[in-house]
Amino acid sequence: MAEGGVGKATSAWGAMTITALLAPGLLPHALRTALAATLTAVLARLLHLDQGYWAVFSAILVMQTDFGSSIQASWARLLGTGLGAALGALSATLAELVFGPGFSTLTLAMFATILVCAALAGLNENFRLAGLTAAIVISLHALGGNAFTIGANRFLEVGFGIVVALCVSLAWPSRARVLLRFGAGKGLEGLAGLLAALMDSRMSGRYGRQRIFHLKDSALRLSLKNRQLLAAARREPGVTGEGERLADLLQTLERMAENLRSMDHAIEDAPPEGFHRHLPEELSELGASVHALLLDLAPLVGDAQNPPQAFTHADLAESQARLERALKSTGDKLLELRAERVIAGYDLDEVMHFYSFYHALRETAREALGLAARLRG
């Protein structure tokens, strides 16, 4: 690779790394995790826990980027550990009672226990750590020691690490709903970019397949992440009413995304020259005004408590008014073209392509207007 190419690649990698480090909540999450692990290690040493490192492992594993996800991870680890410890201790003890002590007996107990734990993990993901814990209990029992005592110690050590991690999360909270609002704001920006690509493809007659594919893929990935954050937010205390508002926000974004996918389907195989060429100014202004309103809404949705100081409700009202004018202008032009029977010169397939495109664009505009009205009200 040429030296210039290497330099550009290095610069691009550095830019991506800095962007990742500046992602909201990432640095606080790293600091919370480090603090929880260190605090757990110190407390385990002070309490003279024989295998306190398991508590440290648990604190690291259950510490998530938001409190709701930490609760879910804690529950899953505690449930899996408890089940695995109980099954491992029980199987080792019963096997020795029936077949007598020995390596082959514990090997049989290991096989039977892991078989059961793996089957349970397939039924419920919360049980996926059960097999690991059972294997640890049986292996340590083979070295000497009461299996039930080993299992109880393992459960208490894991529980201790979980408690410390949750205490750190409560003292230095990161709320899923805050991350979700940021993600929703980024979602609106992504939809605005996808809309711009679709409008460029239709009005220019050149379908930007690669650009549109990547924008659709990014929008889908972000939507899935936002859904996960919504589930985490609902597990956090004190979010009953806000949880419903956030769910409504995500549903609005998903409806807009569905409309944009319909636009994409309508233009992907449409001929470059079509009925849209009779109202290029109206369609271009409609697309541009929807795009502008989505970008205006993004920072307001992303941080509803601290909206950008340079942006006011008057600016949002102007964006709404511009979009409403564009909708009326496009509707009036279509009525004029119908009266002139211009559409009669096109075959049914082209008419269907155009109206699928237009109705999807119009519904996206209406969803954006509805969201703006809710934010202003």
- Cα separation, 50 vs 157, in Å, equals 9
Give CA angle at 244 (242, 247), nearest 5°. 110
Checking if the pLDDT of 2 tops 60, the result is no
pTM: 0.63
Architecture field, domain 184-376: Up-down Bundle (1.20)
With pLDDT > 90 as the criterion, what percentage of the chain qualifies? Answer: 29
DSSP for residue 127: G
Chain segment 23-81, per-residue pLDDT in tens = 555 777 788 788 888 998 999 888 888 778 888 888 888 777 666 667 777 788 888 88
Domain range summary for the chain, segments of one domain joined by +: 20-171, 184-376
Each residue's pLDDT tens digit, 238-259: 655 677 888 888 999 999 999 9
Separation CA 226–CA 68 (nearest Å): 13
Whether the CA torsion 292, 295, 301, 304 is positive or negative: it is: negative
CA dist., res. 193 & res. 287, Å (int): 11
Per-residue pLDDT of 320-346, as tens digits, reads 999 999 999 999 999 998 888 888 888
